[in-house]
Amino acid sequence: MEGVALTALRSVMFRVSQAAERAGRDPTRVRVVAVSKTKPISLIRQLYDAGHRSFGENYVQEFLDKAPQLPEDINWHFIGHLQTNKVKSLLASVPHLAMVEGVDSAKLASHLDRAVSAIGRQPLKVLVQVNTSGETTKSGVEPTACLDLVKHVRLGCPNLDFCGLMTIGMPDYTSTPKNFKMLSSCRATVCKALGIVEDLSELSMGMSGDFEKAIEMGSTNVRIGSTIFGPRDYPKRH
């Protein structure tokens, strides 16, 4: 009998395909990142053994504990706000880190650029995080500052590979279509200004509660946690 997480992943992949087809899109152009924060290595391994390769973590220390114990061909994504003082340890401990979602300041971009150069790895793929909801609790640059940050990454950080934009929608899911539309608009502005083909610039938007809508609105990267792994097990803080 297969595990609950694997059954859930298969259900998610089916829903992704359905959403893409409704929008007339190729389902294979949508990446599903299984966000495994607070979840044990055994569950990640179960999905890995079934063929899944894209996983994401949000907490640096948890990432540093898990990644060395898992296969090196996992496409790891760091998702969310990354503190500059954690950059070196993250890149040193997860040398096969595939992408950072997302870069939310020029300072962080420069730190990442220097750290990648220092360890001599391939350029690191990054997404610029945009705060499309205007919530003060969310990281990300204001939409009006998005182009300047992308320019900094593209022109001032030769060890970073700008791949697109990411955002986190509103928690009530009723406003997320506006947020997703805003991110698409930011991409159009960036691509026009910098001569980038829009189809080559990713949109990372959509999580457990809204990923189907996100895909219908053009998302190329969805970050699914609780729908695959179940409710998160946050440790009690004393």
What's the pLDDT at 213?
A: 94
One digit per residue, the tens of pLDDT, for the chain of length 238 reads 468 999 999 999 999 999 999 999 999 999 999 999 999 999 999 999 999 999 999 999 999 999 999 999 999 999 999 999 999 999 999 988 999 999 999 999 999 999 999 999 999 999 999 999 888 888 999 999 999 999 999 999 999 999 999 998 777 666 679 999 999 999 999 999 999 999 999 999 999 999 999 999 999 999 999 999 998 776 654 4
Round to whole Å and give the CA distance between 40 and 66: 8
Round to whole Å and give the CA distance between 46 and 17: 22
Round to whole Å and give the CA distance between 69 and 94: 11
Round to whole Å and give the CA distance between 95 and 93: 6
Round to whole Å and give the CA distance between 165 and 14: 25
Residue type, 129: Q
Residue type, 171: P
Round to whole Å and give the CA distance between 103 and 116: 14
Give the residues across from 56 on adjacent strands. 35, 77
